[in-house]
Amino acid sequence: MAAVTLQDVAQRAGVSQATASRVLNGSSRVPGEDVADRVRTAARELGYVPNAQAQALARASTGLLGLVVHDIADPYFSSIVRGAQAAARAAAKQVLLASTDRDFDIERESVSTFIAHRADAIVLAGSRQSGHLDRELEAEFERYRANGGRLVVIGQPLAYGGAVEPENQAAAAELAEALMDAGHRQFAVIGGPGSIRTAVDRRNGFVEALCRRGLSTVVEVSGDFTRDGGYSAARRLAAALQLEPGAAAAPVCVFAVTDVMAIGAIAAWRELGLQVPRDVCIAGFDDIPTLRDHTPSLTTVALPLERIGARAVELALHGAGDIDDLRERVPGRVLLRDSTRLD
């Protein structure tokens, strides 16, 4: 990668390397217009491209932003990344992306690499067990932070670093309220893995809201945080409730903790001949764009995913201030639609 160097440019322009550096980058010490012109011309003619690695080494900052997500192909995360990417561009930062497949080793490894690359900030999207990182990761972050690195989490806050928190619990509670207001009285839940905080929060918010009005769930099942997880959980649920086509007087209303799981559930029920919302109702969470045209339209909670991603990056980059104090809560918005319609 033997490219044109600053030295080459300086030589051709007949100035020192220092001068060339000053005109080519926004230094406060501005050389005379004539000299500057010569340098710019030389740079253009030679096709000079500054070596960001060398700049990073000489300066304090790399202009890199590390972004860790569980699964980039999951629309939840890709929306977050889209927002993060836009905010990074606005701040002239480059995004280093890691998609971990929810593997903790890969996650740790990715973070290490980001630190090795001296990313100016790291954004961690996707919640983990009870807000705790494992020891090694924690130790790395400790040093990272000591060296001026900034950390922002999307989800529940860690012991240090900023956080953008979707109000999963509160929003799930609102959803429950809305459903009860709509006349529902029988509820069930399709939850996610107990190790995923987001899943737990949503489930808890929903169930507690029911409790407050003296109701409780008829049954709860859970599965992976995926379409297939929703599918298999829904089969178990159907068996547990002995759901049958056309049999229900008042359909049970099921809350699946993500839209993607809800879609899997509907698919499972369809195979059993069950219709939504006639035989069973369902609500999801996330308001995934590609699912907005689903039939029946899915009752869900909209989270401003792109804005969440963008805010996380802004907090991470917003130079001044103690980052540990940067906590932002983002509310969800309940969308009542056909999948929970009572005739």
Partner DNA sequence: CTGAAAGCGCTTACAG
Residue 16 CB, shortest distance to a second copy, in Å, is 21
> How far, in Å, CA of 296 to CA of 341, rounded?
10
* Amino acid letter, 80: I
- 304 binds, options DNA, a second copy, none, Cβ within 5 to 8 A by partner type: none
Nearer to DNA, 24 or 196 (CB): 24
Diameter of the chain by CA atoms? 89
- 22 binds, options a second copy, DNA, none, Cβ within 5 to 8 A by partner type: DNA
Nearer to a second copy, 154 or 263 (CB): 263
> How far, in Å, CA of 85 to CA of 77, rounded?
12
Nearer to DNA, 77 or 114 (CB): 114
The string of DSSP codes covering 63-123 is: -EEEEEES-TTSHHHHHHHHHHHHHHHHTT-EEEEEE-TT-HHHHHHHHHHHHHTT-SEEE
On the question of a cis peptide bond just before residue 31, with omega within 30 degrees of 0, the verdict is no
What residue ranges bind a second copy (CB under 8 A)?
A: 1-4, 47, 49-54, 56-57, 60-62, 67, 71-73, 75, 78-79, 81-82, 85-86, 89, 94-99, 101, 106, 112-118, 139-140, 143, 147-149, 227, 260, 263-264, 266-267, 270, 288-295, 306
Burial class, 219, CB count within 10 angstroms (exposed 0-12 / middle 13-18 / buried 19+): middle
What residue ranges bind DNA (CB under 7 A)?
A: 2-3, 5-7, 15-19, 21-22, 24-25, 27, 29-32, 34-36, 48, 50-51, 54-55, 57-59
- 227 binds, options DNA, a second copy, none, Cβ within 5 to 8 A by partner type: a second copy
Residue 6 CB, shortest distance to a second copy, in Å, is 12
Nearer to a second copy, 34 or 105 (CB): 105
Residue 158 CB, shortest distance to a second copy, in Å, is 19
What would the 3-class secondary structure string for 241-281 be? HCCCCCCCCCCEEEEECCHHHHHHHHHHHHHCCCCCCCCEE
Residue 10 CB, shortest distance to a second copy, in Å, is 18
Residue 58 CB, shortest distance to a second copy, in Å, is 10
Q: What kind and span of H or E run contains 45?
A: helix 33-46
Nearer to a second copy, 139 or 211 (CB): 139
Nearer to DNA, 70 or 93 (CB): 93
Residue 223 CB, shortest distance to DNA, in Å, is 45
Enumerate residues 6+ apart whose C-beta is below 8 A from 190.
Answer: 220, 221, 222, 223, 230, 233, 234, 237, 254, 255, 256, 257, 261, 262, 265
